[in-house]
Structure 1
């Protein structure tokens, strides 16, 4: 291993040692409790971007947030990874809140507004290009590039919330009387603010009949 790689790897190991010391000296008993299982109330579906860690943004502790992350916080019905996480969170952990969290300055969203090719990720970004297609008139009317991207970030979050609400997993939870809210939020990385997109669903009443399972 070259020196640069060894230094960066050693930093990981040293950081873990510091964390182990913290856990060892903690007297609250929470880590012993965590070793027995988890009981989070939140499922966080966010972007894989390194700048948007769920616990820090929500001021929560280990064990309080169940997390799934991918490029541009996409939730599509063909993604078995996301669906498996969702199923476990809703039906086993019985989370009360699902948060879809996008963020301004998202590279995936910016790439979706481009005609450039980036590799295999282009196929994944088609889902966001579809969000653009559904909202092209509004987005094209925005002259500023950054504002255009920011608006697509917001619309993408809203679309992914809608996608989640239309899954059989969430629909059946509501049908069975489970308390479950699905929220959309956007992160301002510069300020750390979580901006509520006011697209919360707690039942399927506001979904059209074709999407509402009976």
Structure 2
């Protein structure tokens, strides 16, 4: 059985299980969506929104390589506009992760066979250059990439807060910066949403409590 075929079989089992437990579940799901959260995450297959135990309808999602808030990204702009103005989300979470391939790539020479990826992560390369002194104090590439992932989350939170759409929506919308520790399986906060500005220094990481 091919992998896509297996996915279809698993979907059938999943839907039948939910229907058995709650026959009205999919009728309610189809009627509307009222998520409180917009999730801006990385495309990495190891960091789905399921790490929060979210179920369908909980989270409005935008994912891209390196969880970037790019100024000229029409896709992100339309997601933000709909999430804030139509869905009236109360929280936007920028979630990066350790062991991120985009961060590793930004710390190496550009790969000529990946021109679109190179263009995409150019801002991360610039970020790593601005923090070169701090990053170079870390002895291993993995440590530097993990720290860059944290700095990148802070940079994207800052970029979000500077958007006119978000400034006009506050205090309705709170912005959060999180990092996912791949080794621990834990989400940890990098920002305090009650503060006006991002915290540029390294913060003590705190476990996020799930419901």
TM-score normalised by L of structure 1? 0.86
Which residue number corresponds to residue 131 of structure 2? 135
Establish whether residue 22 from structure 1 lines up as the match of residue 51 from structure 2.
no
Which residue number corresponds to residue 146 of structure 2? 150
1:198 equivalent among 180, 185, 191: 191
- Cα distance in 2, alignment partners of residues 189 and 32 from structure 1: 36
Number of residue pairs the alignment of both structures matches: 196
Establish whether residue 70 from structure 1 lines up as the match of residue 43 from structure 2.
no
Which residue number corresponds to residue 210 of structure 1? none
Aligned-pair CA distance for 1:15:
1.4
Instruction: Indicate if the aligned counterparts of 1:165 and 1:201 stay in contact, CA closer than 8 A.
Output: no
- Cα distance in 2, alignment partners of residues 30 and 12 from structure 1: 21
| Secondary structure of the corresponding residue to residue 9 of structure 2 | helix
- Cα distance in 2, alignment partners of residues 99 and 122 from structure 1: 25
Which residue number corresponds to residue 96 of structure 1? 90
Which residue number corresponds to residue 201 of structure 2? none
| Secondary structure of the corresponding residue to residue 193 of structure 2 | coil
| Secondary structure of the corresponding residue to residue 63 of structure 1 | coil
| Secondary structure of the corresponding residue to residue 175 of structure 2 | strand
Q: Which ranges of structure 2 fall in alignment gaps of 5 or more residues?
A: 199-211
Establish whether residue 50 from structure 1 lines up as the match of residue 45 from structure 2.
yes
Instruction: Pick which of 17-26 and 77-86 moved more.
Output: 17-26
Aligned-pair CA distance for 1:113:
0.3
- Cα distance in 2, alignment partners of residues 99 and 164 from structure 1: 10
Aligned-pair CA distance for 1:131:
1.2
Coordinate RMSD, CA, aligned: 1.7
Establish whether residue 173 from structure 1 lines up as the match of residue 166 from structure 2.
no
Higher helix share: 1
